[in-house]
Amino acid sequence: MLALRLARGSRPVVQARRLLVAAASAGTGFLLLYVLASAVDRPAGSFPRLLWALVPVAVTVHLAVTVARADPATRPREGLDAAGLGPVRLGLAAAISTAVACVLGSAVALAVFLHLRGDLAGLPFDGAGSRLLHGDQPLPLASALTLLALVPLGASAATVLALRPHRPLAPQTGLPWGITLAACGFAVEAFGGRGLGMLAGWSLTAVGLALAGPGLAYASGSLIQAVRPGGLRLLAGRALQEQAPRIGPALGVLCSVAAGALTAFALRDRGGLHVPLGQLTWPAVTLVALCAAATLLTSAVEGRRSGPSWREALLDVGAPAKVLRTAAGLRATALVAVCVPLSFGVAQLTSLALTR
């Protein structure tokens, strides 16, 4: 009941974020149902299709955790501990709210999927996608519900783990581990080739970039302050370094998605990447890219709101708002200057590993 009351009393921006999570869950659920229907029609090769479909599941869970962390209702407040609402219970309430949003999306995915297959009659476009969605084959209901439960269960469990009380680590802590995992990913791709080897290698690279993301964002802040910085550059650089732990993982995930897209573009004349998702391959790629971008944007906006009080202090002393906008532009420029070459370099190394 507490989770439902907190969700009902949230601001419109927070509700819009939850609807975004529900939309991402619906898209991922529809893809999982498509993989299930394809497996019923053609059992051969169903396991690789399911593994590739787990990539949208992972980015959807990441988006859900980021939205839950940005929810003002999950922040400890004075007096709530005395009422028995400490960080642990607030984390459980956030996990329930996240699960509700994901279940809503999964239910919409199931209804739309069955409607397009022709299993639900009496509505417009009934059976319009019967051929694509293998409407001539029966859909195992138990298997469908099991797959649809992946996102709600994974998102709620990850939310509990992410919101548990813990001591924050320095942004540079994960940088060497991230570089090591990325290098292991390149090695797996080189020896495993395309197919499951490429999926395993790209997953290791993505996790490595996510671990290295805070260090990369911190380095971007140092780049802004390099070579005799003025007050504006110092402000932008220090602010970016403060936000590095929050936006870093999302930044690394977005870099890995961009590197994957560049790799697919580079290998388009060499047989492509052999992603076995059929006609939903590019919709799945679009879903992954949108989830990664939305995660980074949510982290950046919430990091600015929940950061130190220097913004209010500058406005109190009469600093023009243009200074803050210029500092934000410098931070965005520094991130682009670091992430674009990084994504291009990762794509080049991946292409070399897959064509050796």
- pLDDT tens, the chain, 356 aa long: 555 555 555 677 878 899 999 999 999 999 999 999 988 888 877 888 889 999 999 999 999 999 988 877 666 555 555 555 566 677 788 888 899 999 999 999 999 998 888 777 666 666 666 778 877 788 888 999 999 999 999 999 999 888 887 777 788 888 899 999 999 999 998 888 777 888 899 999 999 999 999 999 999 988 888 878 887 888 888 888 888 888 999 999 999 999 988 988 888 777 667 778 888 888 999 999 999 999 999 988 876 665 555 666 666 666 677 777 888 888 889 999 999 999 999 999 988 888 76
Nearest partner of 74 among 61, 93, 60, judged by Cα: 93
Rounded CA separation 69/160 (Å): 10
Whether residue 87 contacts residue 165, with contact meaning beta carbons closer than 8 Å, is answered with yes
Neighbouring C-beta atoms of residue 327, cutoff 10 Å: 23
Residues 6+ apart with CB under 8 A from 264: 272, 273, 285
How far the first Cα of the chain sits from its last, in Å, is 57
Question: Rounded to an integer, what distance in angstroms lies between the CA atom of residue 225 and that of residue 237?
Answer: 6
- Structure pTM? 0.89
Judge whether 24 and 264 are in contact, CB under 8 Å: no
Between CA 27 and CA 63 the distance in angstroms is 13
CA distance 241 to 146: 42
Amino acid identity of 214? P
Spell out the domain ranges in the chain: 1-166, 170-356
Distance CA 289, CA 263 (A): 14
Residue 278: closest CA among 164, 165, 133: 133
Q: Which two tokens stand for residue 330?
A: 């410098």
Q: How far apart are CA 58 and CA 213, in angstroms?
A: 17
Asked whether 7 and 115 are in contact (CB, 8 A), the reply is no
- Enter the tokens of residue 29: 């659920």
Query: Which residue type is seen at 219?
Result: A
